[in-house]
């Protein structure tokens, strides 16, 4: 008895066999696309640290290129190929190189890479010296179009205490958690720790992951002795950023999560030090 004939079985493709490249076909609508690529790629990365010990974390990554009006689509797999080649020991100059690589791989005029991740810094409690890890949100963002632009964004939680409340109250003063954020363009070597230090010093008090009772007393009293409006926080942070010659441009913000109002307080300063 003859074996049955299987009809319609698809041919097995090999790397050597020619395949249609639909993305490279022409498009007749004559509409260029500003950004096309992959978004929200969750990926492990390794970061350099000042002490020399690498830190591994998980990043959310966006990668885009521009697309000319006459090309139907881009090649999505090439974004992940570039990412895989550059994932070890991520640093600002490597993000710029990856951006340049995307332009070349995808024959694009412009490329964008955004890498957002949680970065951990060990901090000792102020009195007991108990070690603990503080987490900070960090973003590396790069654009390459013949001119390479890199911005590092660092968000640090802190505490603020209201000067007005302290002044008018018979005892106590209302305080709140705040988030201070700096976006910086810089030259030379600038560590995440450098920016975190500037932001935390601008607040009424730093935060810590572990506080024993002597530490809690210290932090509470430190905040009480250094009351600051949201305006004070961004001005103090901007003053420190102005003093750092490595930083050529910045945007600093503070959002204070009010404890006695149903709204938040906010302030922002942007300065291009190259134009002054």
Condensed to tens digits (0 to 9), the pLDDT of residues 218-260 reads: 999 999 999 999 999 999 999 999 999 999 999 999 999 888 8
Per-residue pLDDT of 15-32, as tens digits, reads 566 665 555 666 668 799
User: Do 163 and 135 fall into the same domain?
Assistant: no
User: Do 56 and 142 fall into the same domain?
Assistant: yes
User: Do 142 and 245 fall into the same domain?
Assistant: no
At residue 172, the pLDDT reads 81
- Best mean pLDDT range from 119-123, 158-162, 263-267: 119-123
Q: Which of 146, 171, 188 is the last residue of a domain?
A: 146
Q: Enter the tokens of residue 115.
A: 């890498």
In a domain, 8, yes or no: no
List the domain range (segments joined by +) for residue 107.
Answer: 32-146
Phi-psi region of 40 (alpha: psi -120 to 50; beta: other; left: phi over 0): left
Average pLDDT over residues 201-212: 95
User: Do 186 and 89 fall into the same domain?
Assistant: no
Average pLDDT, the chain: 89
User: Do 215 and 259 fall into the same domain?
Assistant: yes
At residue 13, the pLDDT reads 54
pLDDT at residue 4 tops 60: no
pLDDT at residue 179 tops 70: yes
At residue 94, the pLDDT reads 85
At residue 226, the pLDDT reads 94
The answer to whether the CB of 174 falls within 8 A of the CB of 142 is: no
In a domain, 44, yes or no: yes
Q: Enter the tokens of residue 169.
A: 């109250």
At residue 74, the pLDDT reads 83
Which of 183, 103, 107 has the alpha carbon at shortest distance from 151? 183
User: Do 135 and 246 fall into the same domain?
Assistant: no
CB neighbours (10 Å) of residue 255?
19
User: Do 141 and 172 fall into the same domain?
Assistant: no
In a domain, 13, yes or no: no
Please tell me whether residue 169 adopts helix, strand or coil conformation.
coil
User: Do 161 and 244 fall into the same domain?
Assistant: yes
pLDDT at residue 121 tops 60: yes
User: Do 38 and 111 fall into the same domain?
Assistant: yes
CATH number at residue 156: 3.10.270.10
In a domain, 10, yes or no: no
CA dist 203 and 154 (Å) reads: 15
What is the rounded end-to-end Cα distance, in angstroms, of the chain?
91
Average pLDDT over residues 41-54: 90
CA dist 112 and 34 (Å) reads: 10
Which of 150, 183, 196 has the alpha carbon at shortest distance from 49? 196
CA dist 217 and 149 (Å) reads: 44
User: Do 66 and 178 fall into the same domain?
Assistant: no
User: Do 157 and 94 fall into the same domain?
Assistant: no
Q: Which residues of 6-33 are buried (b: 16+ CB within 10 A; e: fewer)?
A: eeeeeeeeeeeeeeeeeeeeeeeeeeeb
Range list of H helices, 12-127: 76-86, 92-105
Domains of the chain: total: 2
At residue 21, the pLDDT reads 58
Average pLDDT over residues 68-74: 84
What pTM was computed for the model? 0.85
User: Do 155 and 237 fall into the same domain?
Assistant: yes
At residue 261, the pLDDT reads 83
């Amino acid at each position: 008895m003859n074996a049955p004939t299987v009809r319609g079985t698809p041919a097995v493709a090999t790397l050597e066999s020619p395949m249609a490249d639909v993305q490279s076909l022409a498009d007749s609508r004559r509409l260029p696309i500003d950004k096309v690529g992959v978004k929200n790629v969750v990926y492990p990365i390794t970061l350099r640290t000042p002490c020399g010990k690498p830190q591994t974390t998980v990043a959310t990554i966006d990668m885009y290129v521009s697309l000319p009006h006459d090309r139907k689509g881009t090649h999505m797999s090439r974004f992940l190929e570039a990412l895989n080649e550059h994932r070890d020991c991520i640093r600002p100059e490597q993000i710029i190189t990856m951006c340049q690589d995307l332009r070349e791989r995808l024959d694009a005029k412009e490329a964008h890479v955004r890498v957002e991740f949680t970065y951990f810094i060990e901090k000792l409690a102020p009195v007991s010296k108990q070690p603990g890890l503080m987490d900070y949100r960090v973003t590396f963002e790069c654009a390459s179009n013949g001119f390479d632009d890199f911005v590092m964004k660092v968000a640090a939680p802190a505490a603020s205490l209201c000067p007005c409340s302290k002044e008018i109250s018979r005892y106590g003063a209302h305080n709140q958690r705040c988030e201070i954020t700096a976006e910086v363009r810089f030259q030379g070597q600038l560590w995440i720790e450098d920016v975190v230090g500037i932001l935390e010093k601008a607040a009424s008090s730093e935060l810590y992951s572990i506080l024993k009772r002597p530490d809690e007393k210290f932090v509470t009293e430190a905040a009480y002795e250094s009351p600051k409006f949201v305006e004070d926080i961004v001005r103090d942070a901007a003053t420190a950023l102005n003093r750092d010659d490595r930083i050529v441009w910045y945007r600093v913000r503070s959002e204070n999560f009010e404890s006695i109002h149903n709204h938040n307080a906010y302030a922002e300063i942007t300065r291009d030090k190259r134009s002054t």
